[in-house]
Amino acid sequence: MSTPARKRLMRDFKRLQQDPPAGISGAPHDNNIMLWNAVIFGPDDTPWDGGTFKLTLQFTEDYPNKPPTECLDACFYFGLALFGNIW
């Protein structure tokens, strides 16, 4: 079923593939467009330099009007799990 949120996420994914931003990678998880895996690489010359921060993003049918819920992978951030919203 193709909904406005799913269409938008497909468009966003296509743009990420065509013009990926530096230091960020993301893609749907196991062909589920509503669940994404993402990685942010710590920028050079910052306290996060060399860090690899894995996220899981859960989108709802309210996207893009409401942000996804995110979870920072505990394995990649000193054993700390962080749950919340990003925008």
H helices of 1-87, in order, are: 4-18
Q: Pick the residue with more confidence: 4 or 53?
A: 4
Q: Would you kindly state where each structural domain of the chain is located, as residue ranges?
A: 4-78
Per-residue pLDDT for 87 more than 50?
no
CA–CA separation, 58 and 28 (whole Å)? 10
Q: Is 77 exposed, middle or buried (0-12, 13-18, 19+ CB in 10 A)?
A: middle
pLDDT tens digits along 13-37: 999 999 999 999 999 999 899 999 9
Does this model's pTM top 0.85? no
Looking at domain 4-78, does it have CATH number 3.10.110.10? yes
Token pair for 23: 């230091």
Q: φ and ψ at 58, to 5 degrees?
A: -110, 115
Nearest to 59, CA basis, from 51, 47, 67: 67
Mean pLDDT of the chain, nearest integer:
84
Q: For position 62, what pLDDT does the model report? A: 97
